Structure 1
Amino acid sequence: MKKGLKIFGIILAVMFLSVVGYGFYLYNSLTNTVDQMHESIDRPVSDKREKEVNMEEQEPLSFLITGVDSRGDNHSGRSDTIIVMTVNPKEKSVKMLSIPRDTRTEIIGRGFQDKINHAYAFGGVQMTINTVENFLNIPIDHYASINMEGFKGLVDALGGVTVDNAFAFQQDGFTFNEGELFLNGDEALAYSRMRYEDPRGDFGRNDRQRQIVDAVIQEGAQFSSITKAGQILSAVGESVRTDLDLNGIWAIQSNYKEARHNVEQMEITGSGKRIDGIYYLQIPDEEVNRVSQELRAHLELDTSNTASSQ
C-alpha cells in the first residue's frame, strides 16, 4: 500500500500562511526556494469562475493540496492524499476537506470512472484539478503537491508538532497514547497513516491528517519559528511544487494570513462497494451536493448550481 504524505496540506500551512511571513531579511533564500518550487501548469481560468481571483481585493480562493508517495524531487505516482482548502479572508476562515482516495468519480480526460487518486497517475496535477473541479463543482485556483520526504523534513524543521490523540494505538513501530502528544516527522507520518485500528477507517485517518495540518499551521505561524526558517525553506524547496510564483505567495501572505485562526475541518461520507472485484467509495449525489454548496458559499459563488452526478 502506498505510504504517501497523508498531510501534505501542511505545505499550505507553512508556505502559504507562515513561511513567507518571516520577513524581507530572508528575501534571497525565499526567492531561491520559490524558484525551485514553482511549476506552472498550462490552464486558463477555471470554467467554474467568471473571472480570475483578485487577491489584492481579498476575494476568496481555493487550493488543491496533493500528497504523493515519492522521494526527492520526484512527484510522480498516485496522490494518496487529496485536500481541498478554501480561504475567505473577509470572514477570516478556512474550510478544509479531505477527499477519500478510493472515491469513485469520472476521471476528466480519460472518459471513465475510477478512484479519484488515479487521476494524478494518469495526468498529474492538471488531470487531478480537472477531476476535483468536476466532482465538487467548484473552481481550483492554485495547487501544491508535497512528497513523503518533504512531509517528515518539514515537521522536523518546525521542531515537531503537538496533537490531541482521541485513543491509544500503535503504528509503524510507534505507540501513540491517548491525550496530548508531541510528534517528530517520522511519528507524525505514522500517526497520520493509521486506519486499521480506527473503527472509522479512512475517515478517521482523514481526521488525523487534518489535525496535523492545523498543528503545522499554528506552529509555523509562531514567532519562535523564525529561527528555523532556513531549515523550513530547505525542506519546502526540495519537496514542494506549486503554480504560485513569488508575487502570488506575497499576495496571499499579505491578504489571507489571518484566516488561519479559524480552520473548519469538513468531511464527505459514503459507503464502500466492490465493482469487478475492486473496492470503491460511493458517495451519494446529495452528499456531494451538500459539500459542494458549503464550499461554493465559502467562495462566495452562486449556490444554485449543483455538482455533476458521479
Structure 2
Amino acid sequence: MESTDKKSLSSKKKKRRIIGYTFLIIFILLLAIGGILYYQLQPAQHFKAAPVVTPGNTSASNSTADENKLSDSVLNILLIGSDQRKDEKIGHSDSMIIVHVDLKKKEYHTLSIPRDTRVYLEGFGYTKLTSVQYIMQATKGQKEGVQAAVETVGNLTGIPINYYVETNYWGFKSMVDAIGDVEVNVPFDVTLTHPWYKENKNKVIRAGTHTFDGKMVSELVHERYSLKNGEFGRQQLQQAALVGIAKSALNPNNITHLPSLVNSISDFLIATNMTTSDIVSLGLAVKDLDINSIHYHQLHGENKKMYDDVLQANNDQFILDPQDIEEVAAKYFIN
C-alpha cells in the first residue's frame, strides 16, 4: 500500500503552486449566484444541450461515438489552478481537476491530474502537462493556451470535457475572504516552510480546529515540504479546508456574505466557457450539496527522469498507468 501511494505522488518541485482543490471555488460560486438571483433555469433541462469542449476517448465502448456526449444531466468540468500572477497574461497549469457532476444522482467525483504528467504537445514534442498552457499562451495567445490545456487533459484521460473554469491563488484567497472566516479541522501539525507571505515563515499550526481567513487558508493548503506524506499530506489539508469552506458557505448565518461573493466573481474567475445561465443553473443543482456526496480519486504511476523536448534536457516527469486511467475514467467519469 505504501509503495502504491508513493507512485501516485508527483515529483517535488521547489516552486510555489496553486492549491489543488480549486474545485470548491466553482461550487461556492454557484451556490451564491444560484441561491440569490435565479430560480427559473432547471438543471435537468438546461444541461441537455451541454457543449463538448474535448470529446475524450471516442473509441471507448461506454462513450457515444457519434455525438460523444455524456448521459442527460451528467457533466464533466475541468478546474484549472494557474500560477498566473497579477498583471500577467500567461501562467502554468499547476492544478488540474476533473469534476464529474451527476445532477440526477446528486453525486460528484473529482480526479486530480498530476501537474508533472508526461504529455505530447503537437509541434513541440514531449513535455510536462503544467507547461502546455504556458507554451501555447506564450506562442498563440491566452485563450489558445487554456484550450490547449483542456484538450490535452481530454486526450490524456479519454474523459469528455464539457466545461472548464480557471482561477489562481489570488482568486482563491478572494473567494474565502468574500465568504468570511472559516473553521478548519487541521489533521496534524503543519510548519509553513514555503509560505506566500514571509511573516509566516516557519509558523506552526497545531492539529485541531482553527478559524482562518483567506490568507491563512491559502497558506495551509499550499504547504507540503514539512509534511511526512508530502503531496499526499497536502491533499489531506486541502480536503479539510474544502469541508470547512463548504460548511461556512452553506451556513444560513452567513447569507449576508453572499452579495460580497457575487461581487468578487471577476477576482477569482480567469477564464471559463460557462455562460451566466450555465452557472446559475448549476447553482440550483448544488444548492443542497451534501459533503458526503463528493468522492475524490487519484491516478497512479511512477516518477522517471525523462527527456523534455521543450527544455531540451532531462527532468522528473510523472508517467501515468494507462490501465489505471482507463479504469477510473470508465467507472466514474464516462456515462
1:273: how far off?
1.5
Matched, 1:197 2:226: yes
Matches within 5 A, 1:14-163: 14-16=28-30, 18-24=31-37, 45-48=53-56, 50-51=66-67, 59-72=73-86, 74=88, 76-107=90-121, 109-110=122-123, 112-123=125-136, 124-163=145-184
In structure 2, do the counterparts of structure 1 residues 45 and 7 end up closer, same or farther at CA, with 3 Å as the change threshold?
closer
1:288: how far off?
1.7
Matched, 1:268 2:299: yes
Contact residue 34 and residue 281 of structure 2 kept, 8 A: no
In structure 2, do the counterparts of structure 1 residues 122 and 257 end up closer, same or farther at CA, with 3 Å as the change threshold?
farther
1:19: how far off?
1.3
1:77: how far off?
0.5
- Specify the code of the residue in structure 1 equivalent to 2:35: Y
Matched, 1:216 2:245: yes
Matched, 1:246 2:259: no
Q: Distance in 2 between matches of 1:44 and 1:211?
A: 32
Q: TM-score w.r.t. structure 2 length?
A: 0.74
- After TM superposition, the structure 1 stretch with the greater mean CA deviation from structure 2, 66-75 or 96-105, is 66-75
1:78: how far off?
0.2
Contact residue 27 and residue 283 of structure 2 kept, 8 A: no
Q: Distance in 1 between matches of 2:306 and 2:241?
A: 33
In structure 2, do the counterparts of structure 1 residues 162 and 265 end up closer, same or farther at CA, with 3 Å as the change threshold?
farther
1:152: how far off?
0.9
In structure 2, do the counterparts of structure 1 residues 295 and 22 end up closer, same or farther at CA, with 3 Å as the change threshold?
same
- After TM superposition, the structure 1 stretch with the greater mean CA deviation from structure 2, 63-72 or 248-257, is 248-257
Candidates 235, 252, 257, aligned match of 1:206:
235
- After TM superposition, the structure 1 stretch with the greater mean CA deviation from structure 2, 70-79 or 285-294, is 70-79
In structure 2, do the counterparts of structure 1 residues 22 and 58 end up closer, same or farther at CA, with 3 Å as the change threshold?
same
- Specify the code of the residue in structure 2 equivalent to 1:156: D
The corresponding residue for 2:322 is: 285
- Specify the code of the residue in structure 2 equivalent to 1:63: I
The corresponding residue for 1:185 is: 214
Rg (Cα) greater in structure? 2
In structure 2, do the counterparts of structure 1 residues 4 and 181 end up closer, same or farther at CA, with 3 Å as the change threshold?
same
Q: Percent identity?
A: 23
Contact residue 4 and residue 148 of structure 1 kept, 8 A: yes
The corresponding residue for 2:5 is: none
Contact residue 163 and residue 181 of structure 1 kept, 8 A: yes
In structure 2, do the counterparts of structure 1 residues 86 and 75 end up closer, same or farther at CA, with 3 Å as the change threshold?
farther
- Specify the code of the residue in structure 2 equivalent to 1:250: V
1:260: how far off?
4.5
Query: What SS does the aligned partner of 2:91 have?
Result: coil
RMSD, matched Cα: 2.7
Runs of 5+ unmatched residues, structure 2: 1-14, 39-50, 57-63, 137-144, 308-313
1:149: how far off?
1.2
Contact residue 34 and residue 279 of structure 2 kept, 8 A: no
Q: Distance in 1 between matches of 2:188 and 2:33?
A: 35
Q: Distance in 1 between matches of 2:149 and 2:239?
A: 20
Q: Distance in 1 between matches of 2:168 and 2:148?
A: 18
Runs of 5+ unmatched residues, structure 1: 26-42, 301-310
Q: Distance in 2 between matches of 1:233 and 1:266?
A: 30
User: In the comparison of the two structures, how many residue pairs are matched?
Assistant: 279
- After TM superposition, the structure 1 stretch with the greater mean CA deviation from structure 2, 69-78 or 87-96, is 69-78
Query: What SS does the aligned partner of 2:264 have?
Result: helix
In structure 2, do the counterparts of structure 1 residues 113 and 161 end up closer, same or farther at CA, with 3 Å as the change threshold?
farther
Candidates 183, 186, 201, aligned match of 1:165:
186
Matched, 1:230 2:259: yes
- After TM superposition, the structure 1 stretch with the greater mean CA deviation from structure 2, 232-241 or 151-160, is 232-241
Q: TM-score w.r.t. structure 1 length?
A: 0.80
1:266: how far off?
1.2
1:63: how far off?
0.7
In structure 2, do the counterparts of structure 1 residues 199 and 282 end up closer, same or farther at CA, with 3 Å as the change threshold?
farther
In structure 2, do the counterparts of structure 1 residues 13 and 254 end up closer, same or farther at CA, with 3 Å as the change threshold?
closer
